[in-house]
Amino acid sequence: MAEIHEECGVFGIFAPQKQDVASTAYYALFALQHRGQESAGIVVNDDGVLRTYKDTGLVNDVFTAETLSRLGEGNMAIGHVRYSTTGSGGRENAQPIVVNHLKGNMALAHNGNLVNASELRIELENEGSIFHTTSDSEVISYIITKERVRRRSIEEAVLAAMERLHGAYSFIVMSPSKLIAARDPHGFHPLCYGVRADGSYIVASESCALDAVGATLVRELDAGEMLVFTKDGPVSDRTHCGKSKHMCVFEYLYIARPDSVIEGKSVHEARKQAGRFLAERYPIRADIVVGVPDSGLDAAYGYAEASGIPYGIGFIKNKYIGRTFIAPGQAAREDKVRIKLNVLKSAIEGKRVILVDDSIVRGTTCARIVKMLRGAGATEVHLLSSAPAFLNPCYYGTDIDSRDNLIACHHTVSEIAAIIGADSVGYLPLEKVALLTGGDGTGFCSACFDGNYPTEIPSETMKSRFERWARPISENPKFKK
Catalytic annotation, residues = 8
Residue 190 has phi, psi (to 5 degrees) of: -75, 155
- Picking from 292, 296, 260, 274, the residue whose alpha carbon sits closest to that of residue 437 is 274
CA 90/CA 84 separation, integer angstroms:
9
Render the burial of 46-76: b for 16+ CB within 10 Å, e for the rest: beeebbbbbebebbeebbeeeebeebebbbb
CA 397/CA 86 separation, integer angstroms:
8
Render the burial of 330-354: b for 16+ CB within 10 Å, e for the rest: eeebbebbeebbebeeebbeebbbb
Asked if 149 contacts 156 with a C-beta cutoff of 8 angstroms, the reply is no
CA 51/CA 43 separation, integer angstroms:
6
CA 435/CA 419 separation, integer angstroms:
31
- Picking from 66, 97, 101, the residue whose alpha carbon sits closest to that of residue 80 is 97
